Amino acid sequence: MKTNLVLSLTLSAFAFLPLTAQQGAVPSMPDNQNLPPSAQSSSDNNSPQNTQRPNAQSNDDDQQNGKIPVYRVNVVERTTQAVDYRDRGGTTQVDIKGTSLMPAVDGTARVTGHTGRLAIDANLHHLAPPRSFGPEYLTYVLWAITPEGRPLNLGEIRPNDDGNSRLQVTTGLQEFGMIVTAEPYFAVTRPSNLVVAENIVRQDTAGGIHPISAKFDLLQKGQYTVNITPDQLPATNADRKTPLELLEAQNAIAIAEAAGADQYAADTLGKAKAYLVQGENYFKQKQNITPIGAVARAATQAAEDARLLTLQKKQEEQTAAERQRAQDRIQQAQSQAESESARADAARLDAQHQKEQRELAEQERQAAEQARLEAEQAAQQAAQDRAVAQQQLQQSEQARQAALAQQQTLTQQAEQARLQAQQSEQARAQAVQQAEEQRQRLLKQLNQVLQTRDSARGLIVSMSDVLFDFNKATLKPGAKLRLAKISGIILAYPDLKLEIDGFTDNKGTPEYNMTLSDKRAKAVQDFLIAQGVGPDAVTTRGFGESNPVASNATPAGRQQNRRVELVVSGSAIGSNNTGTPGYPGSTIGTVPGASGSSGGVSGATQGNPTSPQPATSAPGSIASPAGTSGTQSSPSNGSSQPPVSNPPPTDNKPPVI
């Protein structure tokens, strides 16, 4: 039976693996970064078949706990074909064809039905080395994808020097499609989004036809190295004579350690390390590949188990923290309810007091009436005394009636005032709640584009210096794309104000740094205005090397000090950025939020253009693709500008780059 399987994968991102706030967010790397120019071109031409729609989900509570979710899973929308292989249906064949990432790949897969299983004999040709996608990718894996989107690792594909490979495996699945992805090691449990080949149903393929819709998750490129840069992986600088099995095991252990397995899965990680040591000893003893491969693959599998166990335990910790925060919110609501009940009791007591006063007045009236009767009896004895008493009685009655009327008026006014105060308090609480909800929603939306944190100044969106051209205030295309998304989000909220602050490190003259920070802030302002943001809503300030967030004595500290911050405030989100001396754009009278700053902006991109950004980069930062010309290397001290000699020059010219 032939089956056309539509594997629809919609691009979305959600977080599993938290990092500390000091580390910052992991850069969202483009899919074709570090690819060869031909692969990048092919990937760009494949947009009709492979579209990606970002739909990031962030955990705001994790940020309040000092943790940021950075483990993202992408779902990529694409179409491919699959076959419903019939049990014991004989042998059939499908073709293997390369995707836009590696169009030269071709091959076949023969599928033979046996009782309770299918035997697959896959032959692939013209496979390029997997490291062409990045130093962390060491091998290929053949996957079977079920109609429900469940991926199954069928086995490792290891091409020879000619790019050819053969894999013979069995599977208990009956209905599936096949894809080939580049992976860091063979034991992965979820495919990456580097799909280099997929099966194509032939005219003579045996099967039945009916469409099948499915979604399956693909790990975004660079997600295995969110906590460790690719050039820190052991296999990156390993001896070329080292067997691939050992390289995969070394990288798998390094990735697991970077994920925190030494804390959450120490026993399993120790088992993997023991296997690796045994394999390295076999290699030093020049034994053949069989014993080396056996223990090395065992080490890789154990390291992957440790990594998955770490992710599971971290997720459990996050769930427990969320449950505790929910309990805290419930307790807070109960406290508010008790406070409202106390105010209601006070109002009830006041009403009771008014009632007692009215009863007392009635008693006084009755006493006066009794006195009047007694006076009438006495009037029979003395007419004059009776007339005087009658006059006094009338005056007393008038005074009492006036007092009673005044008392009723005051009671009504007091009740109206109480109701108005209660309504005003309810309206104010609702306005505060709506502003807070809009603030959290805006924070979540901005975090999907660039790293954003909540603070007393407002919502602070951080941009790193890699979003600008080297030593210039020119926005890169990637920065414009993110700022376009930022402007679309800002336009959806009325009465928002933006203050754009530019900062640099202390390399170069203060005058040059002040000019560069001001130009970069104004470049962001001009682009946002061009996108429709009102000019009156955007202000800029250049601070140069002032207000550092880290020490300028180290490259890492200088990188954090090179930054552009967009401070978003306004009544729509419950804050008003009026500015406070001592720190740019601080807010007066708002509830303190997260403090500190992350990311870096300066005059140039640091390091080798092919080296990935460190794990403390701000989310949305874009590293230069491999092979891009015109990018300058920074000096060995890690600064965006050469060090200034002592005493500094007096002509205020920019340093020579």
Q: What are phi and psi of 20, to 5 degrees?
A: -75, 155
CA pair distance 460, 448, nearest whole angstrom: 13
Pairing status of strand 5-7 against strand 212-214: parallel
Residue 606 in any domain: the answer is yes
Q: What is the pLDDT of residues 242-273, one digit of tens each?
A: 888 888 888 888 898 888 888 888 898 898 88
Helices (H), 260-288: 261-264, 266-284
Question: pTM for this structure?
Answer: 0.42
123 burial class (0-12, 13-18, 19+ CB within 10 angstroms)?
Answer: middle
If one counts the domains in the chain, the total is 2
Last residue of a domain, one of 226, 255, 290: 226
Give the number of other Cβ atoms within 10 Å of residue 304's Cβ. 23
Please state, in angstroms and rounded to a whole number, the distance separating the CA atoms of residues 460 and 543: 16
Q: Is 181 a domain residue? A: yes
| Confidence category of residue 219, pLDDT binned at 50, 70, 90 | low
pLDDT band at 521 (very low <50, low <70, confident <90, very high): very high
Task: Note if the bond before 211 is cis, omega within 30 degrees.
Answer: no
**Domain contains 537:** yes
In DSSP notation, 352-383 reads HHHHHHHHHHHHHHHHHHHHHHHHHHHHTT-H
Q: Among residues 226, 256, 275, which one ends one of the domains?
A: 226
User: Of the ranges 35-39, 435-439, 555-559, which one carries the lowest mean pLDDT score?
Assistant: 35-39
SS3 content of the chain, % helix, strand, coil (to 5): 40, 20, 40
CB 207 within 8 A of CB 3: yes
The DSSP symbol for 167 reads: E
Interatomic CA distance for residues 194 and 167, integer angstroms = 19
Q: Is 310 a member of any domain? A: no
- Taking 50 as the threshold, does the pLDDT of residue 19 lie above it? no
Looking at the DSSP bridge assignments, the partners of residue 142 are 155, 180
- ∠ CA 242-248-249, nearest 5°, is 95
Query: Among 159-173, 429-443, 586-600, which is the least confidently predicted range?
Result: 586-600
Query: Could you say which of 226, 246, 263 is where a domain stops?
Result: 226
**Is 480 among the domain residues?**
yes
- Give a yes or no: residue 321 inside a domain: no
From residue 446, alpha-carbon distances to 451, 459, 461, 591 in Å are: 7, 9, 7, 20
Phi first, then psi, for residue 464 (nearest 5°) are -85, 165
At residue 463, the pLDDT reads 83
Q: Would 380 be classed as within a structural domain?
A: no
DSSP letter (8 states) at residue 173: -
Range of 452's domain? Answer: 433-657
Q: Which amino acid is at 349?
A: L
Residue 592 burial class via C-beta count within 10 angstroms: exposed 0-12, middle 13-18, buried 19 and up: exposed
Which pLDDT belongs to residue 431?
79
> What is the band of 106 on the pLDDT scale with cuts at 50, 70, 90?
very high
- Which CATH number does the domain housing residue 496 bear? 3.30.1330.60
Q: Looking at the domain assignment, is residue 405 inside a domain?
A: no
